[in-house]
Amino acid sequence: MATIAAVAATCRRCPLCTTRTTVVPGEGSATAQLLFIGEAPGAEEDASGRPFVGPAGELLDRMIVAMGLSRAEVFITNVVKCRPPGNRVPEPNEVATCMPFLRAQIAALKPRIICTLGNVPLKALFGEEVPGITRSRGQKMSYQGIPVIPTFHPSYLLRNPAAKKPCWDDLRVVLRELGRTPPARA
């Protein structure tokens, strides 16, 4: 993972390299069984070089703890490794440019399960033809033989608290895939 991060840190393949403060390759255990994939770094992540450290990251941390895990036990990354200006949704060419890094991370990590957070990682792994996150969430999919459970992005949950219950249901599916007994309530 360190080699992938080092290569990503020097990437100049798309215009995002001119507006970023730092590359945010991801962090966590190199032996993690669970991989969370988000969209792209935001302002806080761009400043710190760490994924999911702003308000959405704080919620993700609480979600991980509710699962009976710690942030140190999982691996957290984004599809796009540099912050899009104004925290906009990454453009298709930016996603395509960063996909080799994400594929390399998945291959190096060999997680037991992947949990995609939001529409961007879902579409990045499965293509534009897959139904969006609202219709795909909670459904077990497979990426290169690895189970994938899509769920809502934590930033969406902050804007739409009613979606927290369905998201928790999705995380319970993740736990079952890991062979863990999910807590009844978060």
83-106 pLDDT tens trace: 999 999 999 999 999 999 999 999
**Residue 185 — pLDDT band, cuts 50, 70, 90?**
low
106 with 146: CB under 8 angstroms? yes
- Supply the angle between the helices 164-177 and 55-66 in degrees, to the nearest 10: 50
For the structural domain made of 2-177, what CATH number should be given?
3.40.470.10
User: Residue 183 — very low, low, confident or very high, per pLDDT cuts 50/70/90?
Assistant: confident
Please, which pLDDT band fits residue 12 given cuts at 50, 70 and 90? very high
Q: Provide the b/e sequence for 142-162 (b: ≥16 CB within 10 Å).
A: eeeebbbbbbbbbbbbeeeee
Q: Which of 146, 143, 138 is nearest to 33 (CA)?
A: 146
Phi and psi angles of residue 83, each rounded to the nearest 5 degrees, phi first: -70, 125
Instruction: Report pLDDT for 184.
Output: 74
Helix H or strand E segment including 150: strand 146-151
Q: Is the pLDDT of residue 160 over 90?
A: yes
Flag whether pLDDT at 151 surpasses 70: yes
